């Protein structure tokens, strides 16, 4: 059913409060905005499946239910949905259960899609032909509503199957650690002073130019948030790179930057030149540098290969995707001396992280004997 009135919403919330979990999904648009525009929110428990129209009413009663600590909120690949809820309400629902994370720990493929997981667990094949639907248009037809509701209808079954399986294998506490991180608001807070590192061409710039790029990118981020417009609608990445590289000191010089339109110069010219000036004023000792990956020596790469083999072996033994434990990039960072790697934390640490650390500290050595990887005491 499509819920479009406050009365119907209150009735739905009363039903949702009676259960111990709520399956949740959202449909949103963000092609023309900085913040995602919530267009539909689907919810379900054992008693009801419904789609709620956020464009027609205040969703405060639903947000209150989702904030109820007695009720588990179930998502698949929860991060985007949670970010939208945080932006709209200033709070994150908790506790949460992410079926994508749970599925990987239960032995399914890494980052498994919802459709593949539903098929694996229930045998149902979901219709994904409406993936690119414009969810902001009204009215929504029956096919759209069925498509949207399927995202929570089968999520109920998937949740119970994975929850019970993880309980039986003693791994429910593993995923709880990951779920608690999802409910941490700091996970969704971008540091505007570090946004410049997302502009990949920035690695070509010298520290003096990077200081300018940092000011430009921070200004653009704050402007995009204030105007609720996509970053590239303010100024494109390539244009920011060129401004940082050339450091124009006048509107005339700014106007010669390739890709910067006259209308942008008129609207943003003063702000852009001010950002350039701020960047130039940064003392040499405080200028940013591009974080370069330490170049590993051939012997280091051999060690990475051995660590990766150990991670794969422990993953196979425990029925956990090796990539969920530690990917190759993370293992390279370990060899380059990254003390804060995720694999050292929580259940990953218990499963393989502590063993990896002992290898790196020289307490264990890895050898291939008879085609099998073995660990030996000491680094000899």
CB 41 within 8 A of CB 24: yes
CB 357 within 8 A of CB 372: no
How many Å apart are CA 328 and CA 304, to the nearest integer?
8
CA dihedral over 295, 300, 301, 305, signed as positive or negative? negative
How many Å apart are CA 117 and CA 115, to the nearest integer?
5
Catalytic status, residue 147: yes
Catalytic status, residue 237: no
Catalytic status, residue 236: no
- What the block records as the tokens of 347 is 């259940």
Catalytic status, residue 164: no
| Helix (H) or strand (E) run with residue 366 in it | strand 364-369
Other CB atoms closer than 10 Å to residue 272's CB: what's the count?
25
Options 98, 150, 151, 355, the catalytic residue = 151
Options 21, 27, 159, 330, the catalytic residue = 27
Catalytic status, residue 20: no
Q: Using only C-alpha atoms, what is the Rg of the chain? A: 25
- Angle among Cα 350, 352, 357 to the nearest 5 degrees reads 95
Options 53, 81, 178, 221, the catalytic residue = 81
- What the block records as the tokens of 372 is 């099998």
Options 21, 147, 154, 159, the catalytic residue = 147
How many Å apart are CA 312 and CA 323, to the nearest integer?
8
DSSP one-letter string for 5-74? SHHHHHHHHHHHTTSSEEEEEEEEE-TT-SS-EEEEEEEE-SS-EEEE-TTSS--HHHHHHHT-TTSEEE
Catalytic residue IDs: 25, 27, 81, 147, 151
């Amino acid at each position: 059913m499509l819920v479009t009135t406050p009365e119907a919403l209150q009735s739905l919330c009363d039903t949702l409060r009676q259960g111990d979990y709520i399956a949740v999904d959202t449909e949103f648009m963000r092609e023309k905005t900085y913040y995602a525009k919530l267009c539909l929110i689907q919810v379900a428990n054992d008693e009801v499946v419904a789609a709620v129209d956020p464009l027609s009413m205040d969703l405060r009663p639903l947000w209150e239910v989702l904030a109820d600590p007695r009720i588990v909120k179930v998502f698949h690949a929860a991060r985007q949905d949670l970010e939208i809820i945080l932006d709209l309400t200033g709070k994150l629902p908790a506790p949460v259960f992410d079926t994508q994370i749970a599925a990987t720990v239960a032995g399914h493929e890494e980052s498994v899609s919802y459709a593949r997981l539903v098929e694996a667990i229930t045998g149902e094949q979901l219709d994904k032909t409406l993936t690119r639907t414009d969810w902001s248009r009204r009215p929504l037809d029956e096919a759209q509503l069925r498509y949207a509701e399927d995202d929570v209808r089968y999520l109920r079954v998937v949740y119970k199957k994975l929850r019970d399986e993880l309980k039986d294998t003693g791994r429910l506490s593993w995923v709880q650690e990951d779920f608690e991180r999802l409910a941490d608001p700091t996970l969704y807070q971008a540091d505007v002073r570090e946004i410049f590192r997302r502009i990949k061409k920035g690695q070509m710039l010298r520290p003096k130019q990077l200081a300018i790029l940092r000011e430009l990118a921070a200004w653009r981020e704050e402007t995009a948030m204030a105007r609720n417009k996509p970053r590239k609608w303010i100024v494109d990445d390539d244009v920011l790179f060129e401004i940082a590289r050339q450091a124009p000191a006048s509107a005339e010089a700014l106007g010669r930057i390739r890709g910067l339109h006259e209308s942008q110069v008129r609207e943003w010219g003063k702000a852009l030149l001010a950002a350039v000036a701020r960047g130039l004023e940064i003392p040499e000792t405080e200028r940013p540098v591009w974080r370069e990956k330490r170049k590993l020596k051939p012997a280091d790469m051999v060690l990475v290969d051995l660590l990766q083999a150990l991670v794969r072996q422990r993953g196979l033994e425990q029925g956990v995707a090796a990539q969920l434990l530690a990917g190759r990039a993370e293992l390279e960072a370990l060899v380059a001396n990254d003390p804060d790697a995720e694999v050292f934390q929580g259940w990953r640490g218990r499963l393989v992280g502590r063993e990896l650390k002992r290898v790196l500290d020289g307490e264990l050595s890895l050898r291939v004997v008879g085609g099998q990887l073995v660990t030996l005491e000491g680094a000899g």
